[in-house]
Structure formats: C-alpha cells, structure tokens
Amino acid sequence: MDHPRRNFLQKLVASAAVVPLLSPYRALAQADRASTGSHQGKTLRVALMGLGSYAARVAEAMQSCKRAKVAGLISGTPSKLQEWGTKFGVPEKNRYDYENFDRIKNDPDIDAVYIITPNALHRDQAIRVAKAGKHVICEKPMAVNAKEGQDMVDACADAGVKLLVGYRMHFEPKTLEVIRMRKAGDFGSISFFQGLCGFRIGDPDQWRLNKALAGGGSLMDIGIYAINGARYMVGEDPVWVTAQQTKTDPVKFKEGVDETIQFQLGFPSGAVASCLSTYQMNHLDRFFMTGEQGFAELQPATGYGPIEGRTHKGELTQPHAMHQTIQMDEMAGILLDGNTPVVPVDGEEGLKDLKIIDAIYAACGTGRKQELRLG
Ligand code: NDP
C-alpha cells in the first residue's frame, strides 16, 4: 500500500505543477466553448475498470479535470476497491467487481466506463458495458484484432452508446500544432513519415508477454503509436503495408508475441511511412515527417511528456499539460455535448488501427505486401 503522506505530497506537487501549465490550454478551451455556447456545465462521471498502473495515472490526472471525475470503480481486487474508493471519494455503492458490474446499468451516478485492463479482455468487457447502457472508453489497443473490434463497434451502436479509445495523443498540444500546420499546407505535400516506438520490456511473466492476454507483443502495445501516428501526422489512411519481424529471444518472446517488427505503409497520395515497433531497444520514441516544403519532428513523440518537437519554422512551444487530464475533459465534451475532436477517437478509429495490425501480422507471416481497405 502507498504511503498516505507520500501520496498527499505527490498530489500537491502534481497539482502545483499542472495548474499554471494548464491555464493557457484551459483559457483556449473555455473561449472555444464560450464562442460555441456548447458547454452545459455537466460533468462526465466515469467508472474506472482495472485498477492497475495506467488506471492509477488516469485517476490522478482526473483530479485536475474540469469536466470529468472518477465516480465508480471496477476491480477484481477487493483491497484496491477499498483503498481507491477512500482515496478518490467513491462510495461503496459505486464499487463493483468483474462478476457484478452489469448492475452498473441501474447506477444513476455513472455515465461511462473506462476499460483499462489487459487487451484481450477489452471486447467482452466493452460489450457488457454497452449492454448496461453506459458509454465505453477503452484503452488501446481497442481489441486484439479487427473482428473483435468490429464486435465492440456493433455492440455500442446497438445499445445506442458511444465508444471512444484512449488515444491521448489526439489531444496533445504540440501534436495538434503539427496537424494544424500540415492542414494549412506548411509542409507542402507530405512525402515521408518515420515512427520509432519501443522500449526494453522487463518481467518475462507479465501479461504483456502472454499472447492470451496481450493478443500479440510490442506491436499491440507500443507499435500501435507508430501506426496511429502515421495516420494522424500524414493525414491519410494507408492503402498497403509490408512488414518484417525479427526475434532475438524466442524464450522471452514466445510464439505469437512479437519482439521487433519493422513495417512500411503506403498512402493514397504516394507518401510512404517506415516504422519500428520493439520490446528489445530503449530510447525509441520519435516521429519525423517531411514534405516538399518543410519537416516536423517530435521526440519524445508519445511518452507522457513533455512532448518536444520542432519544425522547419522552429521549436514547438505549446505548453505541456497532463495528457490524461486534457483527454478526459475533451472526452467529456464529446460524450456529453457531441463535440467533434480534431483527430477522431471513436471506435471506427480504433478499428482502423486493428485492421492495420492484422495486416502487419499477415505480412510478417507471408512475406507479402497486404492491401488495406480501412473505409
Ligand atoms: P496493469 O497490469 O498495470 O493493470 C491492469 C489491471 O487490469 C490489473 O491491475 C487488474 O486490476 C486488471 N486485470 C483484470 N484481469 C486481469 C488479468 N487477467 N491479468 C492482469 N490484470 C488484470 O496494466 P496497464 O495499466 O499498464 O495496462 C492496462 C491497459 O491500458 C492496456 O490495454 C494497455 O495497453 C493500456 N495502457 C495505455 C497507456 C496509454 O498511454 N494510453 C499506457 C499504459 C497502458 P484489478 O486488480 O483492479 O482487477
């Protein structure tokens, strides 16, 4: 159990660091809402499912949210329900386990469930949440293949709830500035994107190295940032992919768990991307894009920040804010007000990445170029 004083100090330091940095973003967001008149003042009440390391980060970040709050907890570990319930002020009646969470249907205090469990559990959990009539926010990868992703999209459509994927980079200010510049034509026509994503993974017994829970290896976990990033940086959906896999440690990275994959994407405009996904190398978190008239570089590109970057016009200077704080406030706007984000975060967006992941694995297996129809 964490030391309560250390928690308090961490919270104090985190909020002191975040508040002044957030203010320019918030000022913009508030001005935007004031101009559209869309802010109803409602708060998105979120139940977190799977109280692991990333959920802890999300829960802390949500303490600084203006429009979203932790209102429920779903866990298989009773001691976490107790500890987190006390820490985040979630009453016992809004705490659930994996057997009884369908009862959330009758819980008027919950608007959405944020699924932050191992990848292979997402599909069934999302379908149960949808059937309970609550909006679904699901961590990446949305599922372990496109078929399961489609099941989730269909279940949410049938239930009349929204499905969002935890693509926090879609709200990150420097990333959005590069996207704005690309749309404004500052780079000219885009010719090339490079995405390098990886880290050396530790404990060989963790679920990320278990195919049954992870659905794959590095590509599912970290390579997806390069796939998704290629799409939002270039601003197109790829039409073909080729891929090659290498494995230096077949004991740690068992059958179906990829260690290192290089893949190449081709876009309708003729732009190409070259990407690396790995669990075996450190210091890989870099996006580079070049066009006829300029370039953009983000490094780190997808870590928790601060993101750093530059273009041919100079350094990117947008202020850092906790990604998950911005994400959850923006998701509140999407779910409660029907706002449209600059880069989509819906189930169709998650499904596109899963179709590319399926094709990358097929390309590794066959050695052949795979045509993509993401439509
Ligand atoms: P953790 O292992 O830290 O936590 C997962 C939690 O899921 C566990 O603590 C447990 O919580 C619950 N759980 C339920 N069933 C199982 C099971 N069979 N095995 C293990 N855990 C189980 O993982 P992370 O928090 O790092 O990752 C969770 C999800 O979040 C993944 O999909 C991952 O890709 C994504 N993620 C996204 C990030 C981002 O930046 N967007 C960053 C990190 C992760 P409990 O005891 O409460 O049931």
Task: Annotate 225-292 with three-state secondary structure.
Answer: HHHHHHHHHHCCCCCEEEEEEECCCCCCCCCCCCCEEEEEEECCCCCEEEEEEECCCCCEEEEEEEEC
Q: Which residue carries 């500035």 as its tokens? A: 177
The Cα–Cα gap between 157 and 155 comes to: 5
Cβ–Cβ under 8 Å, residues 117 and 124 = no
Residue ranges of domains in the chain, CATH in brackets: 3-167 (3.40.50.720), 169-319+346-371 (3.30.360.10)
Token pair of 354, please?
């899963």
Relative orientation angle of helices 224-234 and 173-183, to the nearest 10 degrees: 40
The rounded Å distance from CA 254 to ligand 1 centre is 20
The full DSSP string for 197-212 is EE-----TTSGGG-HH
Tell me, what amino acid is at 51? L
Residue 286's contacts (CB-CB under 8 Å, 6 or more residues apart) are 194, 195, 196, 297, 298, 299, 300, 301
| pLDDT under 50: residue ranges of the chain | 1-39
- Indicate the helix (H) or strand (E) that contains 46: strand 44-49
Which one of the listed residues 25, 96, 114, 225 is annotated catalytic?
Answer: 225
The per-residue b/e assignment along 256-271, b for 16 or more CB within 10 angstroms, e otherwise, is ebbbbbbbbbbbeeeb
The pLDDT of residue 40: 55
The pLDDT of residue 211: 98
The rounded Å distance from CA 209 to ligand 1 centre is 13
The Cα–Cα gap between 81 and 79 comes to: 5
The rounded Å distance from CA 118 to ligand 1 centre is 5
Q: Which residue carries 């049954």 as its tokens? A: 212
pTM value > 0.85: yes
Mutational pocket test of ligand 1: of 139, 148, 208, 331, the residue with most ligand atoms within 8 Å of the beta carbon: 139
Based on the residue annotation, tell me whether 96 is a catalytic residue of this protein: no
The rounded Å distance from CA 284 to ligand 1 centre is 22
Bridge partners (DSSP) listed for residue 295? 290
Q: Which residue carries 């983000």 as its tokens? A: 298
Cβ–Cβ under 8 Å, residues 350 and 141 = yes
| Residue minimizing CA distance to atom 35 of ligand 1 | 139
Q: Which residue carries 């030391």 as its tokens? A: 3
Based on the residue annotation, tell me whether 140 is a catalytic residue of this protein: yes
Tell me, what amino acid is at 90? V
Among 101, 94, 169, 93, smallest CA distance to 131 is for: 101
CA 77, distance to chain mean position in Å, is 24
The pLDDT of residue 363: 98
Ligand 1 atom at minimum distance from 54 CA: 25
First CA to last CA across the chain, in angstroms?
Answer: 47
The pLDDT of residue 375: 82
The rounded Å distance from CA 208 to ligand 1 centre is 9
Among 300, 197, 168, 304, smallest CA distance to 258 is for: 197
Ligand 1 atom at minimum distance from 80 CA: 47
Cβ–Cβ under 8 Å, residues 370 and 361 = no
Relative orientation angle of helices 323-337 and 53-62, to the nearest 10 degrees: 70
The Cα–Cα gap between 107 and 95 comes to: 10
Task: List the helix and strand counts (H, then E) for the chain.
Answer: 11, 15
User: Where does ligand 1 bind, in terms of residues with CB under 6 Å?
Assistant: 50-55, 75-77, 80, 116-119, 121, 139-140, 166, 168, 207, 213, 221
The pLDDT of residue 60: 98
Cβ–Cβ under 8 Å, residues 219 and 127 = no
